[in-house]
Amino acid sequence: MGRPPLPIGTYGKIRLYALAGDKGWRAITKFRDTDGHTRTVERTGRSRAAAERKLKEALHNRIGPSGGELTGDTRICAIAELYLAEVQKKRTGTTYDTYNHNLTNYVLPALGELRAREVSVTRIDHFLRACERRLKPNTVRGIRTVVSGVLGYAARHGAIATNPTRDAGRIEGTKKDIRSLTKKERDELLTKLDEDKDAVRFDIPDLVRFMLGTGCRIGEAIAVQDDAVHWTAGTIAIVANIVPVRGVGLVRHDGKTFAARRVLPLPSFLLAVLKERRPPDAVPGSMLFPNTLGHNLGRRSWRDPHNTGARLRAALRQSGYGWVTSHIFRKTAATTLDHAGLSARAIAGHIGHSRPSLTQDVYMDKRADGRAAADALDAAMSQDKQ
């Protein structure tokens, strides 16, 4: 039986030969490349030790002839560049911008010059703990995501055996109470917004009604076009959102996730609001909540989500509800549906979540709604006494 081949990426015995004329030494061996072919590799040096050292260095850094393979000695900054190119092909502009920001400002300054084989679980964990001391938990989670993405890319292309980020410690955040608006608070807030001239001028009251009535994200709300509404059936298709992309401007693209693209029944009060505000000359591409500052080619343009958020925050502060954010409206919608007896899966589908557990843990206000629970327990205890 023949001798078994060398494992991929390994070499055989190093042989050393003196060069004629006292011109130094030659070190030579066989190396099995990543394409499965075994090739001769050699290096020369002025001394026996120098020739062997140069050969081992060449073997250590060797890349197969097919080109483009990553090795354990590829620097993280080079892998990150390849990973970002992959992200740019598969993800939306805002995701790419966020990943690029986290890599440029946090990951590469700390890990960029390390070689792939040098990035251990311990190094990653120390880096993330240092980030935790100066950054918010959500930011650190975003940083961990891109670190994991870069090293996952390295693992998929053979530079490292496994992704060490998976074994780094979790990012612990401060648990916040889930708070939604009560009916009394909703009514009071909407009354105050209707009375606020600046809020009305920037079309905030109806935008708030829309988010309360659908559970939509603010970017989804301002992306809805007239043809997304089935005016007879009373439904609306949530299929896109508006995001600012660096170097491009405002972009309307497909929803945040597959689960975010959905068709919702409209509550009667909201359908009435939308019909009342619909202009007589509405065309399929016109927005339900356009930019309030002008027209673009005869048609009002998209709203900037950042500017809209700033106007909303100002109106909420003015009304005495400074603690409320646009996400509170989503939580209010989810909690209202929960109190109405809908399942977590149905509520998750309505507000655009792929995981019902996220809806339950982060979006549903756990405070008791009225005396229904107490009355049920009272009735049960009364029966036990009989």
pLDDT one-digit tens code per residue, 366-384: 555 555 555 665 565 565 5
User: In the chain, what are the domains?
Assistant: 1-68 (3.30.160), 76-167 (1.10.150.130), 183-363 (1.10.443.10)
Determine the pLDDT at residue 165.
Answer: 92
Determine the pLDDT at residue 299.
Answer: 45
Q: Distance between CA atoms of 2 and 16, rounded to whole angstroms?
A: 25
Determine the pLDDT at residue 350.
Answer: 78
**Under-50 pLDDT residues of the chain:** 64-68, 294-299
pLDDT in tens, 55-113: 988 887 765 433 447 888 889 999 999 999 888 887 766 788 889 999 999 999 999 99
Q: Calculate ∠ Cα 213-216-222, nearest 5°.
A: 105
Long-range pairs of 134-137 with CB within 8 A, sequence gap ≥ 24 = 135/106, 137/171, 137/172, 137/173, 137/174
**Half-sphere exposure (CA, 13 Å, Cβ side) for 99?**
22
Determine the pLDDT at residue 204.
Answer: 94
For residues 237 and 223, the answer to whether their CB atoms sit within 8 Å is no
Determine the pLDDT at residue 164.
Answer: 92
Determine the pLDDT at residue 170.
Answer: 83
Its pTM stands at 0.63
Residue that has been written with the tokens 């993800």 in this structure: 91
For residues 42 and 28, the answer to whether their CB atoms sit within 8 Å is yes
